[in-house]
């Protein structure tokens, strides 16, 4: 019979091996100014998903009543689909748009309209998903993506055939970041090439899924900000993981972000960035990504 003590001994051994085997974090100091420009543009696309004018009337030009998406407003855009589904897990809201100036097809998901409630109510339930061997995703995020998956995918395919050569980009903030991560991974599995820009993304699944996302060759930009609590949820102790790399913004809430304010951190579940900051409920850090990302809500 196996005693409790011997189980604990093997758990402790496994943990110590893992700690020893984990490579030292690789931390780069700067991103290029071209990459910073991309971050600013796609942050503004994520911000635009909070503005009801961009999810209540398909076929219109994107704008932000809060004034926080000037780069998007300067582009020649038109929404191909605007959607709002509040029936499922929280919320599945956003838009698919064509940007003829930058030659992009952009899918952007909105975060929750109330961060305090959303964070307080986030659950830690996972479900098996067929993305990879052993992959599990957060079941609520997975369901929320699933509620729009078919319609959004067919709209994307039709947009890509109309606008051939345009780049496909998924973006979002908070819950919206989780939906774009899962949806982007599903579409990559079905043969699409797309870039992913996420801001304040929670953990979307287990370590197998994080490894799978990390191994994809398309661009993955997962931005976090100082001690934003959301990328630390659901907790690692419940079997949730964050993919690599992380682009960690270190400037304070309310401050502009320069190239030297972003550290590039390699390694799944590294604590060299956001995850190593003090535990707390700094909602302001969650709401500040280059600008007041959720200002329209």
Q: Which residues would be at the binding site for ligand NAG (CB under 6 A)?
A: 52-53, 56-57
Query: For 289, phi and psi rounded to 5 degrees?
Result: -130, 95
Tokens of 15: 């943990």
Q: Are 236 and 269 in contact (CB under 8 A)?
A: yes
> Which of 81, 91, 228, 282 is the catalytic position?
228
Q: CB 44 → ligand NAG: shortest distance, Å? A: 17
Calpha distance 83→81 (Å, rounded):
6
The answer to whether 225 and 249 are in contact (CB under 8 A) is yes
Cβ 261 to ligand NAG shortest distance, Å: 33
* Integer Cα distance of 61 and 97 in angstroms: 9
173 is catalytic: no
Tell me whether residue 52 or residue 216 sits nearer to ligand NAG (CB atom): 52
CB of 52 to ligand NAG, least distance (A): 4
What DSSP character marks residue 241?
B
Nearer to ligand NAG among residue 53 and residue 73 (C-beta):
53
Phi, psi (deg, nearest 5) at residue 83:
-140, 150
Name the catalytic one among 108, 174, 253, 270: 174
Q: Tell the smallest beta-carbon distance from residue 7 to ligand NAG (Å).
A: 57
Catalytic residue among 173, 253, 286, 294: 286
| 174 belongs to the catalytic site | yes
Provide φ and ψ at 234, rounded to 5°: -60, 160
Nearer to ligand NAG, 114 or 260 (CB): 114
Q: What's the number of CA atoms in the CB half-sphere (13 Å) around residue 55? A: 24
User: Which tokens hold the place of 70?
Assistant: 């000037």
**Is 227 annotated as catalytic?**
no
**Smaller CB separation from ligand NAG, 59 or 254:** 59
| Residue positions annotated with a catalytic role | 174, 228, 286
């Amino acid at each position: 019979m196996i005693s409790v003590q011997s189980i604990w001994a093997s758990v402790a051994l496994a943990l110590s091996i893992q700690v020893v085997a984990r490579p030292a974090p690789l931390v780069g100091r700067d991103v290029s100014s071209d990459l910073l420009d991309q971050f600013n543009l796609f942050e503004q696309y994520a911000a635009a998903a909070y503005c009801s004018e961009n999810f209540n009337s398909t076929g219109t030009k994107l704008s932000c009543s809060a004034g926080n998406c000037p780069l998007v407003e300067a582009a020649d855009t038109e929404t191909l689909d605007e959607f709002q589904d509040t029936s499922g897990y929280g919320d599945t809201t956003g838009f698919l748009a064509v940007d003829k100036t930058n030659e992009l097809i952009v899918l952007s998901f909105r975060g929750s309209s109330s961060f305090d409630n959303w964070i307080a109510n986030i659950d830690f339930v996972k479900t098996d998903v067929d993305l990879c061997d052993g992959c599990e995703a957060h079941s609520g995020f997975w369901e929320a993506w699933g509620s729009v998956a078919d319609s959004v995918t067919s709209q994307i395919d039709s947009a890509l055939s109309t606008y051939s050569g345009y780049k496909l980009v998924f973006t979002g903030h908070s819950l919206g970041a989780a939906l774009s991560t899962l949806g982007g991974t599903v579409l990559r599995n079905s043969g699409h090439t797309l870039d992913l820009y996420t801001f304040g993304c929670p953990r979307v699944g287990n370590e197998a899924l994080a490894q799978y996302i990390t191994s994809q060759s398309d661009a993955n930009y997962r931005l976090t900000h100082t001690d934003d609590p959301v990328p630390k949820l659901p907790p690692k102790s419940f079997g949730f993981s964050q993919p690599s790399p992380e682009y960690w913004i270190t400037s304070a809430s309310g401050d502009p972000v320069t190239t030297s304010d972003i550290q590039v951190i390699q390694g799944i579940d590294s604590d060299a960035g956001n995850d190593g900051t003090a535990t707390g409920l700094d909602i302001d850090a969650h709401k500040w990504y280059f600008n007041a990302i959720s200002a329209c809500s």
